[in-house]
Amino acid sequence: MKCTNKCLALLTALAVCFGATGCSDEAIAFSYNPDYKVSAFRISGDTGFETADAFASGLCVVNGDINTDNSAVDMTDATSAGLFDLNSRTVLYAKNIHERLAPASLTKLMTAVVALKYGNPNDVITVSSNMGNLESGAVVCGLAEGDQLTLNQALHALLIKSANDAAVAIAEHIGGSVEGFADMMNEEAQAIGATNSHFVNPHGLNAENHYVTAYDMYLIFNEALKYDTVNEIISMTSYDTVYTDKNGNEKTLSVKNTNQYLAGNVAAPDRVTVIGGKTGTTNAAGNCLILLARDTSGNPYIAVILKSAERGILYTEMNALLEQATS
């Protein structure tokens, strides 16, 4: 109690000093109150007052490499990787977890987060003429100027086929422009703690100053999984729908999942079920993959690998990573 009184006396003296002639030209209001419910002044042993929750109280937190000397996890050909136990909020594996790297189409998870936060799945998108401005060879679903489809339909094309034209259509609908939407992406990244990332487009095609970290991708995917629409879409193996062109004629969209686990081309380790996720590949980003998986008890995990050398190696590495969830 004496310590508390001395602290209060010192702080009061400082407040008087700042408000008195000779210390400052104008009085400065003392901003602390010993009765504030989360104040550090309440150190006298009182009970019943509230405390502030830490920002990361419900998140996995990691500073550096974890378990990289595990011979069962060969990440030689991957630049960065992480495995996160969502129930225990424990990081089971981490390699170069905070290194800034190109994310390729993993970017589209942040696009989905912003779209669902600020849009409605039933919104009708009218496609602009910008669909032809994508780089040569970019994956598209065939959208043309004047086409109309719902945001929900566009999100399916975005997350299942990884359609870059769908990403642009979403960005222009929500943000007014690709640039405006990128600003929204960066604001949302900051809000969820992904402060080591920066976006300049909604699709992840090669661009200067467009990067994430494996840890930030965990934060972004964790945020995306709060939306039922995302959970539904990432678990789908294929999707068929009908939208209209500029003349009102029907157009059919049929897409298949690029995730090799969901496509049935790669088997997950025993006692692990892959629920869904997002793939990404560009020359700059290499081969990238982020997954939501569950063990036989239903416990959820997020696993992410950035910049693996080849697609085949990527899935071998991912299986080695997922096996750590049940070891």
| 47 and 133 fall within a common domain | no
pLDDT in tens, 104-127: 999 999 999 999 999 999 999 999
Residue 84 in any domain: the answer is yes
Q: Which residues of the chain fall short of a pLDDT of 70? A: 1-54
Query: 217: which 2 tokens?
Result: 């991708």
Cβ within 8 Å of residue 136, ≥6 positions away:
none
- Report angle CA 142, 137, 291 to the nearest 5 degrees: 80
**pLDDT value of residue 301:** 98
Residue 281 in any domain: the answer is yes
Residue 305 in any domain: the answer is yes
**DSSP-assigned beta bridge partners for residue 272:** 295
Cβ count near 289 (within 10 Å): 28
Q: Distances in Å between the alpha carbon of 2 and those of 36, 98, 209, 287?
A: 20, 45, 54, 62
| 42 and 148 fall within a common domain | no
Name the pTM for this structure.
0.84
- List the CATH number of the domain containing 227: 3.40.710.10
Instruction: Enter the DSSP assignment of 95.
Output: E
| 98 and 241 fall within a common domain | yes
Phi, psi angles (nearest 5°) of residue 244: -125, 150
Distance CA 104, CA 106 (A): 6
Residue 67 in any domain: the answer is no
Contact indicator for 103, 217 with CB cutoff of 8 Å: yes
Q: In terms of residue numbers, what domain contains 10?
A: 1-53
Distance CA 165, CA 23 (A): 62
**pLDDT value of residue 11:** 47
Number of independent structural domains in the chain? 2
Exactly one of 80, 95, 162, 308 is catalytic; name it.
162
Distance CA 132, CA 107 (A): 20
**pLDDT value of residue 44:** 46
pLDDT in tens, 156-196: 999 999 999 999 999 999 999 999 999 999 999 999 999 99
**pLDDT value of residue 78:** 98
**pLDDT value of residue 292:** 98
Residue 278 is labelled as binding a ligand: yes
**pLDDT value of residue 1:** 47
Distance CA 214, CA 94 (A): 9
Alpha carbon 202 to its chain centroid, in Å, reads 13
Q: Is 251 a catalytic residue?
A: no
Which residue type occupies 58?
G
**pLDDT value of residue 46:** 52
Q: Is 246 a catalytic residue?
A: no
| 11 and 96 fall within a common domain | no
Instruction: Enter the DSSP assignment of 31.
Output: -
**Strand order in 78-85's β-sheet?**
90-95, 78-85, 300-308, 286-295, 272-282
| 146 and 198 fall within a common domain | yes
Residue 199 in any domain: the answer is yes
Which residue type occupies 36?
Y
Q: Is 105 a catalytic residue?
A: yes
Exactly one of 95, 108, 161, 307 is catalytic; name it.
108
* C-alpha torsion sign, points 134, 311, 289, 264: positive
**pLDDT value of residue 54:** 67
